[in-house]
Amino acid sequence: MSTADLVLLAWGTLVGVDLVSVPQIMIARPLVAGTIAGALLGDVETGLRMGVVFELFQFDILPIGAVRYPEYGPATVAAVAAAHWSGGPLALGIGAGVGLLVGILGGLSLHWLRTANARAVRAASAALEDGDVRTLRRVHVGGLLRDAVRAGAVTAAGLAVARLVSLLDVAQWSPGALVLTAAAAAGAALASGGTGLPRLVGRGPNLKWLAAGLAAGVVVAWIA
């Protein structure tokens, strides 16, 4: 394992812990996770592009209550690594494929974490009902450590997949596949963002603001 791998592993772990446990300052957002992963690899361009793609995928998710969702933070770190090792910004689609798979793994691991935390709470329920602060602290810190291990494991798995995919050398094998997968991933991300953002806006009075923004965006995209 190289130094770059270890630094990415540490970053992915922090990103994974930020999502739910602490401190929720939004380094778990793909835009941030991806750009910093790119900077750590000396490839900010790939980080930014992958960050935007996964940010658009993220809009498809509303993390309310106990809802289950894919986890795109460590997934974006793995995606940036896969794209960087497979050819840079043009390997966007390869990175996105890896990231989406790691996103599923992250989502499953969150479910495992919540179940494991519930088991720990049940095991300590007598002491918790008795107001034992030491037990309360132990169970709470245990949850935090469990999440750190979970986030680290998901990132490690993601980086391993990214390394394996880079060994396939898709750029050499089929340059066309790089371009096509990049276009397909960007298209799917735009569809996710194009569905998720209007869902957030809803059908109420703010819909006219969305329409106004869309019209202005089309004009600016045309002339800029």
Partner 1 sequence: MDRLKTPLAAAFLRLFTVQASWNYDRMVGLGMGIAEEPLLRSLRNGTEDGPAYRAAVARGAQFFNAHPYLCGLAVGATARAEREGAPPEQIERLRAALIGPLGSLGDRLFWVGWLPLLSTAAIVAIALGTGWEAIVAFLVIYNIGHVTMRWWALSAGWNAGMDVVAALRHPLVQRSLRVVLPAMALVSGFCLPLAARWLAQPVPRGPALGMLGVAAVGLALLRWRPRLVTGLRLGLAAVGTALVAGWVWR
Residues 48-107 close enough to bind partner 1 by CB under 8 A: 48-49, 51-53, 55-57, 59-66, 70, 89-90, 93, 96-97, 100-101, 103-104
Q: Which of 14, 28, 36, 162 binds partner 1 (CB under 8 A)?
A: 36
Interface residue with partner 1 among 2, 3, 67, 130 (CB under 8 A) is 130
Decide whether 2 or 22 has the Cβ nearer to partner 1.
Answer: 22
Contact 185, 57 (CB under 8 A): no
* Cα separations in angstroms, 116 against 140, 172, 205, 207: 12, 44, 43, 41
CA–CA dist 138, 69 (Å, integer): 28
Task: Indicate whether 143 belongs to the interface with partner 1 (CB under 8 A).
Answer: yes
Q: Tell me the number of residues near partner 1 by CB under 8 A.
A: 108
Q: In this complex, which beta carbon is closest to partner 1, that of residue 63 or of residue 164? A: 63
Instruction: Give the residue among 109, 104, 112, 80 at the shortest CA–CA distance from 94.
Output: 80
DSSP 203: S
Instruction: Look up residue 143 and give its amino acid.
Output: G
Measure CA of the first residue to CA of the last residue in the chain; give whole Å: 44
Q: Interface residues for partner 1 in 179-218 (CB under 8 A)?
A: 179-198, 200-201, 205-207, 209-218
The answer to whether 146 and 16 are in contact (CB under 8 A) is: no
Nearer to partner 1 among residue 2 and residue 203 (C-beta):
203
Contact range with partner 1 by CB under 8 A, out of 8-16, 126-134, 155-163: 126-134
Q: Which amino acid is at 134?
A: R
Q: Which of 6, 7, 10, 26 binds partner 1 (CB under 8 A)?
A: 26
Q: Is 171 in the site for partner 1 (CB under 8 A)?
A: no
Binds partner 1 (CB under 8 A): choice among 6, 123, 137, 169: 137
